[in-house]
A and B are shown apart, each in its own frame.
Chain A
Amino acid sequence: MTLKTEKWRLLEDRRRLVPTAGGLAVDDLLAYSISDYGSPPILHLYTFEPAAIVGKYQDIRAVLKLDRCRERGIAYNRRSTGGGTVIMGPDVLALGFGISLRDKRIGNGVSGVFRVMSGVLLRALEHLGVSAGFRPKNDLEVGGKKLAGLSASAEVGDCVLFHASILVDFNVDLMLDIMNTPAQKIYDKGYSCFSERLTTIRNETHRNVTMEETINAVRSSFEEAFGIRFVSSELTSREREKAADLEKGRYCDEDWIFSHRHPPSNMGEALMKTPGGLLQVYLSTAGHAIDQVIITGDFFSTTEQLNRLESALKWTLADPDRILEAIGEVWEPDLIYGVSPEELKDVILAAKANCDTVPGHQRPDRTSQGRA
């Protein structure tokens, strides 16, 4: 008796750069296909046209310099999963994956999705010669530098939509030119903090890894991890119709792109003299939570440790107990030489107290917008 290998669907778009509305609509379709149309799990691999894509509950006017995006021909849109802004383009692999949470291979609930999917993507990176690790809460990193971002959302029925963006290569200058980020102020002083915080597959392998190779590595890794075979697939006519509805009704709709359903965004900074040196924190907040934090100064620490500290603080509530708790998750003696967790907490809170509303931000207005 021969056991039949289970077949999953693979949607690929290797020949073109996909417009944001079309790509995001197909990703959203995945959950409907599985839940409502009886499809097996679907993997969607593609590259976007140059674009900035914000998380579902981000304030797009606050996080992007929309005038610079328009001037440079960079598209912008809002995805249906959470997290922060991603800059997409021909050298960044976009991955959408739809699967039922009832599938035992995906683990238990949301934590399972992140654990299993990070394992699959780490294996893909290993195929390419990159030894990476999972960094809580939702990044893949090499030596403390982010190489991929993961996010997810509970969608139709029991189905989950998982998103990842994987940096084959990356244009830091473009990112800084089109985003409002606390990093801008440091960059203006001649220090590109992002080159210390981000890395790419090409950077890690010291060779010109192609998008084709990356896609093949991800595909193989999925097949090995889940014990399945992919079948290259096209959308059915019913799926095409649904994707077109989602594209028009959501991703081409200004009410969606400029949605006011989000916590208010603010940015601030603070400086403190400590026994270990000058400690400076640049902060952006989303409501009561820390969105981005950058810790800099003339103290002694390593980039890797600082990046882990910053990641632990991301999406933490900006109150004293929770900040100390987050710092405690990664703190080791002398992580920042001569600086205590208490002092770091104090300077973060001082940066929060100095926060100003980001230009372009508007107070959320729940009454005027639709919901996906």
Chain B
Amino acid sequence: MELEGYVLPDELYYHEEHSWARIEKDGTVTVGMNDFFQKEAGDIVFVDMPEEDDEVEQGEVCGKIQSRKWIGKLCSPLTGEIFEINEELEDEVTLINSDPYGAGWIFKMKAANLEEEKANLYHGESVGQWISEEIAKAEEEKAKAS
């Protein structure tokens, strides 16, 4: 799906704090930040990532992302154990901006409660309305600021 310039691939599941989850063929989950987040945040300066073997819960803040002076949250979209982090980001953190759904992935996890927790994420038809509301809020703010 592409909505007002924001790309949100249909196969992904989205957490309300703008992390995405891709369920891979082997059942593992790849996580990153979505296009709306990276465009709103602007150039990412640093990402403070979780570590391998960390156990995280759905919605838990497991990292922080600095863009300019603002520090935003990296929330895990699902409960589970992190088994790999994207080391490329240490040298090229801007991959989150340039390729948010590809080379800019942040970590991979084994989800503990996938089927149940998927229901708490935006997917399919629900993505359009949610992201439209997010865009409207951002535009309202830009209008006030100008």
Contact = CB atoms under 8 A, between A and B. Distances in A.
Interface in B68-112: 68-73, 90, 92-94
B138 A111 contact: yes
A287 interface: yes
A286 interface: yes
- With most chain A CB atoms within 10 A of its CB, the pick from B49, B138, B145 is B145
Interface residues of A, number: 37
B117 interface: no
A35 to B, nearest CB: 12
B46 A57 contact: yes
Contact of B73 (A154, A261, A315): A154
10 contacts: A56-B64, A81-B71, A82-B66, A82-B69, A112-B141, A112-B144, A263-B93, A287-B45, A322-B43, A366-B51
Interface of A: 55-57, 80-83, 107-112, 115, 137-138, 150-154, 261-263, 286-289, 314-317, 322, 364, 366-367, 371
A108 B71 contact: no
Interface residues of B, number: 28
B47 to A, nearest CB: 9
Nearest to A110: B70
Interface of B: 40, 43, 45-46, 48-49, 51, 63-64, 66-73, 90, 92-94, 137-138, 140-142, 144-145
Given A107-B141, A115-B141, A288-B93, A153 B70 contact: yes
Nearest to A137: B68
Contacts of A289: 43, 45
A367 B46 contact: no
A335 B83 CA distance: 52
Nearest to A150: B69
A82 B94 contact: no
A113 B93 CA distance: 25
A143 to B, nearest CB: 22
B68 A138 contact: yes
B48 A57 contact: yes
A305 B63 CA distance: 37
Contacts of B142: 111
A137 B138 contact: no
